[in-house]
Amino acid sequence: MPAELTFVSPNRARPPRHLADLSPQDRQAAVAELGEKPFRAKQLAQHYFGHLESDTAAMTDLPAASRERLGEALLPRLLTVVRHVTCDGGMTRKTLWRAFDGVMFESVLMRYPDRVTLCVSSQAGCGMNCPFCATGQNGLTRNLSTGEIVDQIVSVARDLERGEVAGGPGRIGNIVFMGMGEPLANYRRVFDAVRRITDPVPGGLGLSQRGVTISTVGLVPAMHKLAAERTQVRLAVSLHAPDDELRDELVPVNNRWPVAEVLDAAWHYADVTGRRVSIEYALIRDINDQAWRADMLGELLAGQLTHVNLIPLNPTPGSKWTASRPEDEREFVRRLQAHGVSVTIRDTRGQEIDGACGQLAAAEK
């Protein structure tokens, strides 16, 4: 592997080009530029995506004289683990990553009896400025590259395969773009990452499109663009309020694309893909958890191909808000169900390690 890259100030340089940034055709061209035979690109991809191997020194089917050159050009080190923090007996693991330029961001691995889910970041920080979210309060540092997104997944998948995570060897089945950042604000790189996640090996990791979820606070043009891709990726809309007056405060982008436009785009996505849209709703005590708001939400969603994920608000430093009372949460569920709306309360995994929804802040200490 190449030597460790020197850190520079954020935004002064782009992340190094990586195999995961490139389509199979572009990989062949890149390998040819190095004076190697084009089929070497497929060999590299087979190791990286198929065997989860990033160290060209271990790729013994490559000529010894070519390994270092190929590694430096196409498999540079993008991410360094700063630390892992675990809870739930090690079944939930938050990873703090440092990128080549010193920028930091987080991902969260969650193991359940029947599935393994990885929550990945698409940006370092977030520019959406939602006041109840720790990530949004820290602001946006920069977009992550496709390679940086994919390398989170490959690195964690490697640890799982090698039995380095509690629970023994395993495989990731679900990828959710619900970590740091607004995925649709980094559309091209996120969608390229989806291709790398779901293309068959050696084109990509070979995960099912139906196991990938992309969340958004409601960037309507990008939602329509995603619908036009006609994938089977699930769309999750972070709504958090059924009325524009409150949503303008909780999700400031609502001032640009109000509730009606966001939901119209969501229903269009469901119509085009046939996939149920998830509505994410963080329950905040005495703010958005009133019974009348549950009725309003139920009326908006009734008859649509949708499911509501109610999220008990996770605490963040300095926040004036807290989670709803249990009795208000139960009534909210009851009111939605009375409108025929499917609803569940999300498992608040990772709260103890600031790894739950809205808590990611990439703090080094």
- The whole-number pLDDT of residue 317 equals 67
- The whole-number pLDDT of residue 364 equals 58
Distance CA 218, CA 253 (A): 7
pLDDT tens string 174-215: 999 999 999 999 999 999 999 999 999 999 999 999 999 999
Please, which pLDDT band fits residue 351 given cuts at 50, 70 and 90?
low
Catalogue the active-site residues: 106, 357
Is the pLDDT at 6 greater than 50, yes or no?
no
Say whether pTM exceeds 0.75: yes
Is residue 301 within 8 A of residue 279, CB to CB? The reply is yes
- The whole-number pLDDT of residue 349 equals 55
Kindly calculate the radius of gyration of the chain based on its CA atoms and give it in whole angstroms: 21
Residue 36 CB coordination number (10 Å): 21
3-state SS string for 161-222:
HCCCCCCCCCCCCEEEECCCCCHHHHHHHHHHHHHHHHCCCCCCCCCCHHHEEEEECCCHHH
By CB neighbour count within 10 A (0-12 exposed, 13-18 middle, 19+ buried), where does 2 fall? middle
pLDDT tens string 279-289: 999 999 999 99
Is residue 115 within 8 A of residue 109, CB to CB? The reply is no
Buried-state track 104-142, b at ≥16 Cβ within 10 A, e below 16:
bbbbbbbbeeeebbbbbbbbbbbbbebebbbbbbbebbb
pLDDT tens string 14-48: 999 999 999 999 999 999 999 999 999 999 999 99
Please, which pLDDT band fits residue 8 given cuts at 50, 70 and 90?
very low
